[in-house]
Chains A and B, each alone.
Chain A
Amino acid sequence: MIISVASDKGGTGKTTVSTNIALSLENIQFLDCDVEEPNANIFLKAKIKEHEEVFLSIPEIDKDKCDYCGKCSEFCAYNALAVVPNNILVFPELCHSCGGCELVCPKKAITWNKRAIGIVDHGQTNDIDFYQGLLNVGESQAVPVIKALKRKIDKSKNVIIDVPPGTSCPVIESISGPDYCILVTEPTPFGLHDLRLAVEVVRHMHIPFGVIINRDGVGDDKVEYYCKKENIPILLKIPERKKIANLYSNGIALVNESHEWHEMFGLMYSRIKEEVN
C-alpha cells in the first residue's frame, strides 16, 4: 500500500505524522518528496549511503551549423532560448527539456547536454528503506527530482510519501498514484482554509483520504465541523502540548518516547489498510 501524507498549509505537522507512522510499522519504504525543504530524516536518522544526481537535458547549439533563424526561440514556451543578431543564448534554468527546439531546428544544430539540478539520497535505518530528494539551491524545478524519487517505489513494501506543501505541480506529482492520502491540518482559520483546497485536490484526483488534526485544542472547532459536514473521517487528533512541541524541536519522534502513540499510529494504519482493501 502507498500512503501519501500532505497538507496545503506548511508547518501543520505533516512530517510529524509521516515519520511517526513509519516508525510504528514494519517493512517500510519512506520517500521524502518535499525536495525543497526535506525534514523527515531529522526524525528518522537514516544513515545516507548512496547519492544519485538528478539531471535535466539542456540544448547545446552547434554554432557552426546554426544560422540564427530563430525558429527554436519562437517555439520555446519557456523563453529558454533567445536569438539576437549573430548569436543565440540558452538559459538553462528556464528549460523544461521538452525537446521542441531540436525538432524545429532546420539545420540540426541542437544536441543535448546534462545539467544536475538535485540529488536523490538513499539510506537505511532499522526497518526503513529511506529515500529523500534534494533540490539544488537556486534551482526552480522540483518536479524532475520528485519523479526520480518516485521511480524508487517498491510496491512490496508499506510505502509512505512525505508531500511538499501547496496545491501546484510538485504536490500533484507527489500524490499521483498512491492508494490513500492523509491530510494534516490544524484547527485554525488558516488551517481550515488550506484544508479545503487540499480536499479539492485529492477529490479531483479521486484518491481516498482522511484528516489528522494536529495542535488540537488551539483555535476553534470549525475544522471538525467542516469534516463532519463533508463526511471526511478524522483519523487522529494530536493535542497541543508543550512536551510534544519540545520533542519536535529536538528532532525526536513521538512514538520513540511513548508506547501509547506507537499503538495509536499503528492502529490508524490498520484502519486505513482495511478501508483501502
Chain B
Amino acid sequence: MKQLTVISGKGGTGKTSITAAFASLAKSAVFADCDVDAADLHLIFKPEIKKTMGFHGLKIADIDKDKCIDCKECFESCKFDAITKDITLIKESCEGCGVCAYICPSQAIKMVDRDSGFAYISDTRFVLMAHAMLNTAEEASGKLVTVVRENAKKLAEDKKKDLIILDGPPGIGCPVIASLTGVDLVLVVTEPTLSGIHDLERILDVARHFSIPAMVCINKFDINLDNTKRIEEYCKDNNIDVVGKLPYDTIITDAMVHEQSVIEFSDCSLADNIIKMWDNIRRNLTV
C-alpha cells in the first residue's frame, strides 16, 4: 500500500481543491483529511458518516476546590502557567502533564479525559474517507492526525485499496510532521509568490529532514512568470520534479461554490492539466 501526502507549507495555494480533483480520478484509493484544524475537504466530498469516534487528546487537570488547602504548590510547579494564583485552571494552557496532580498534598487535583473532538469514517461519491474535527481551542492536533491516519490505513486494508491520499495541514510543525512521517511521496502545492517560495523551501526542508521524496505543483503559475521560473530553478537544483503547472483560473472557486471537484465541474484545460499531473504522480508511485 502506498501513501501520498498533499501539502503546501503556505495556506491557500489550492491544495484542497487539487486533492479533491484527485478524488475524481483515483479509483482505488482511500482519502484522509489530515487538516484537522481547518478541514475543508468534506465541503466538496459531502461525506455520509458511517462511524463516529470520540477523540480524547491529552488529559486535563480537574481541581476540587473543596479539598484545596491553597498551598499554591500546583501554581508554582506548573511549567505552562495553566493554574492562576487563586488556583483556577486555564483550560487552554493545560498540556495534561500531571505534575499538579502529583504534587498536590491534599489530593485535590485529578487528571481527567478531555473531549477534544471526533474522528469519522465516511462514504463519499468518490472514495472512502477518514476525517476528523478538532474542537476549537483544543490541543493535540498531531495526535488526532495520527488517529485519522490509522483509520485510513485500516479502511484501505479492509477494502483492499492500494493507495491512501492525505490532505495535509499548512505549516511545518506538529500536525504537519504527523501527516508526513512514513509516507511514500509528498506533493507540495505552491504558488509563484515570494511568500509561497519562502514556505515551499521550508516545507521541502522538512520533507528532506524525514527523507521523504517530494514533487512540486506550481498552481496559478501565470500570475508571476519570473517567480515561477525561480521555483523551477530551485527544484532543478535540488533534484525535485515539477510535476504540474496549473494556470490561474477562477473555475477552481466556481467549482467550490457548486460543491464539486474541478474535474466534475468542467472539462476545461485546467482539468486536463490536473489529469496529466495525476497520471505522472501515479506512475511515480507505481500504483
Contact = CB atoms under 8 A, between A and B. Distances in A.
Contacts of A251: 193-195
A1 B165 CA distance: 44
Interface in A1-48: 8-12, 15, 36-37, 39, 42
B77 A99 contact: yes
Interface in B131-185: 134, 136-142, 169-177
Contacts of A189: 40, 43, 256-257, 259
**What is the interface of chain B mostly: helix, strand, loop, or mixed?**
loop
A42 B198 contact: yes
Contacts of B177: 138, 140
A235 interface: no
Contact of B139 (A97, A169, A242): A169
A188 B257 contact: yes
Given A168-B134, A189-B257, A246-B223, A9 B173 contact: no
Nearest to A34: B171
Contacts, number: 181
Given A98-B79, A190-B43, A249-B227, A10 B92 contact: no
Interface residues of A, number: 57
B10 A11 contact: yes
B12 interface: yes
A264 interface: no
B134 A37 contact: no
A66 B16 CA distance: 50
Majority SS at the chain A contact face: loop
Q: Which of B97, B140, B177, B209 has the most CB of A within 10 A?
A: B97
B137 A137 contact: no
Nearest to A35: B173
A220 B134 CA distance: 27
Contact of A165 (B38, B96, B136, B192): B38
B234 interface: no
Interface in B237-282: 250, 253, 256-257, 259
A12 B12 CA distance: 6
A186 B177 CA distance: 27
A37 B253 contact: no
A276 interface: no
Contacts of A218: 250, 253
A57 B191 CA distance: 38
A9 B227 contact: no
Given A10-B38, A189-B259, A165 B98 contact: no
Interface of A: 8-12, 15, 36-37, 39, 42, 75, 77-78, 96-100, 103-104, 135, 137-142, 164-170, 172, 176, 186, 188-190, 193-194, 197, 200-201, 204-205, 218-220, 242, 245-246, 248-251
Given A12-B12, A194-B38, 7 more contacts: A36-B170, A137-B206, A165-B37, A166-B141, A166-B169, A219-B253, A246-B223
